[in-house]
Structure 1
Amino acid sequence: MINSIFNFINLHHGEEQKEKVLENVISNISFRGSNLWILACAIIIASIGLNVNSTAVIIGAMLISPLMGPIVGAGFALGTYNFTLLKKSVKSLLIATFVSLAVSAAYFYVSPFKDVQSELLSRTAPNIYDVLIAFFGGLVGVIAITRVEKGNPIPGVAIATALMPPLCTAGFGLATANFSFFFGAFYLYTINCFFICIATFFVVKFLKYPSSIIDNKYEKRIRYGISVLILVMIIPSFYLAYNLFNEKKFTRTAEQFIQKEFENNGYTVIYKKIGYNSSPKTIDIAFLNKTFSKKQIALYNKMLADNGLVDTKLNIRQDDTDIKSEILSEINKFDTNVSEKDVTISQLRRQLDTYRVQDSSFLKEIKILYPEMRDISYGKIEKYPETDSARLQFTFIYSGNETNGVKLKNWLQVRLKEKSVALVNVADQAEPPSNTRTGKRK
Structure 2
Amino acid sequence: MTVPDSQHQPPSLRAAIAHRFSLLDDKADDAEIDRSLRAGVELSGATPWILMLAILIASVGLNTNSTAVIIGAMLVSPLMGPIVGLGYGIGILDFALIRRSLANLAIAAGISLLTSTLYFMVTPLAEAQSELLARTTPSLWDVLIALAGGLAGIIGLTRREKSNVIPGVAIATALMPPLCTAGYGLANGNWSVFGGAFYLFSINCVFIAFSAVIVIEFLRLPHRKFVDRAKERRVKRALLAIVLLTGLPSIFLAARLVDNEVFSSHAREFVRREFRMEQVHVLETRVAPGTRDIEVTLIGAPLHPAAIQAIAARLPASGLKNARLLVHQAQVEDHKEIDVGSLKADILAEIVRNNQQALQDKDAALAALREQVAAQQDWLKQASTITREFEAQYPPCGNVLFGKAVPPGADNMAAVPLLSADCRRVPRAAELKRINEWLKVRTGSADVRLVLAAARTRIVRLVDSAPAGQSATPKK
TM-score by length of 1: 0.71
1:311 and 2:322 correspond: yes
Aligned-partner residue type, residue 184 of structure 1: G
CA distance in 1, matches of 2:329, 2:100: 64
Shift of 1:297: 2.6
Give the 5 Å matches for 1:85-124.
Answer: 85-124=97-136
2:225 is paired with a residue whose SS is coil
CA distance in 2, matches of 1:294, 1:54: 48
Asked if 1 retains the 8 angstrom alpha-carbon contact of 2:302 and 2:330, the reply is no
How far apart are 1:350 and its partner, in Å? 7.3
Q: Once the two structures are aligned, what percentage of the paired residues are identical?
A: 40
Residues 167, 301 of structure 1: alpha-carbon distance in 2 compared, 3 angstrom cutoff: same
- The Cα offsets for residues 180-221 of structure 1, whole Å up to 9 and x where unpaired, read as 111111110000000000000111111111112343433322
Structure-1 separation of matches of 2:204 and 2:115: 20
- Confirm whether residue 219 of structure 1 aligns to residue 226 of structure 2: no
Which structure exhibits the higher relative contact order, with contacts defined as CA atoms closer than 8 Å and separated by 6 or more residues?
Answer: 1
Supply the distance in 2 between the matched residues of 1:32 and 1:214 (Cα, whole angstroms). 32
Structure 1 counterpart of 2:190, from 171, 178, 183: 178
Q: Deviations over 1:132-182 (max 9, x none)?
A: 100010000000000011112111101000000111111111111111111
- Tell me, in whole angstroms, the C-alpha distance in 2 between the residues paired with 1:196 and 1:158: 11
The 3-state SS of whatever aligns with 1:263 is coil
Greater CA drift, 130-139 or 289-298: 289-298
Residue of 348, 356, 370 corresponding to 2:355: 348
Of the three residues 35, 41, 45, the one matched with 1:29 is 41
**Aligned twin of 1:163:** 175
Q: 1:59-74 alignment to 2 at 5 Å?
A: 59-74=71-86
How far is the alpha carbon of 1:303 from its aligned partner? 2.4
Q: Is the 8 A contact 2:300 2:330 kept in 1?
A: no
- How big is each residue's C-alpha offset from its partner over 1:369-391, in whole Å with a ceiling of 9 and x where there is no partner? xxxxxxxxxxxxxxxxxxxxxxx
Structure 2 partner of 1:234: 247
Q: Deviations over 1:395-430 (max 9, x none)?
A: xxxxxxxxxxxxxxxxxxxxxxxxxxxxxxxxxxxx
| 2:32 corresponds to 1:20 | yes
1:193 aligns with 2:205: yes
Q: CA deviation at 1:284?
A: 1.3
Change over 3 Å in CA distance of 1:319–1:41 after alignment to 2: farther
Whole-angstrom distance in 1 between the partners of 2:350 and 2:185 = 36
Q: Secondary structure at the match of 2:260?
A: helix
* C-alpha contact 2:57 2:73 (8 A) present in aligned 1: yes
Query: Deviations along 1:290-309, whole A, 9 cap, x unmatched?
Result: 42233333332222223221
The separation in 1 between residues aligned to 2:116 and 2:249, in whole angstroms, is 26
Provide the residue aligned with 1:143 in structure 2: 155
Choose from 298, 303, 328 the match for 1:292: 303
1:257 to partner: Cα distance: 0.6
Work out the CA distance in 2 between the residues paired with 1:100 and 1:263.
53
Q: CA deviation at 1:270?
A: 2.1
Q: Aligned partner of 1:291: which letter?
A: P
Which whole-Å CA distance do the structure 2 matches of 1:164 and 1:45 have between them? 10
Report the equivalent of 2:283: 270
Q: Per-residue displacement from partner, 1:55-101 (whole Å, max 9, x unpaired)?
A: 11110011000000000000110001000011000000000001111
Q: CA RMSD in A?
A: 2.2
What secondary structure sits across from 2:74 in the alignment? Answer: helix
Return the letter of the residue paired with 2:281.
T
Q: How does 1:23-62 map to 2 (within 5 A)?
A: 23-62=35-74
How many correspondences in the alignment? 330
Deviation at residue 346 of structure 1 after TM alignment: 5.7
- Equivalent of 1:250 in 263, 279, 287: 263
Change in Cα spacing, 1:345 to 1:181, as seen in structure 2 (3 Å) is farther
Amino acid corresponding to residue 188 of structure 2 in structure 1: T
Unaligned runs of 5+ in 1: 321-340, 353-442
* Residues 300/148 of structure 1: CA separation in 2 closer, same or farther (3 Å cut): same
Q: Which runs of 4+ in 1 moved over 4 A?
A: 341-346, 349-352
Aligned partner of 1:282 in structure 2 is 293
Q: How do 1:202-213 and structure 2 match up within 5 A? A: 202-213=214-225
Larger radius of gyration: 2
CA spacing shift, 1:285–1:342, aligned 2, 3 Å = farther
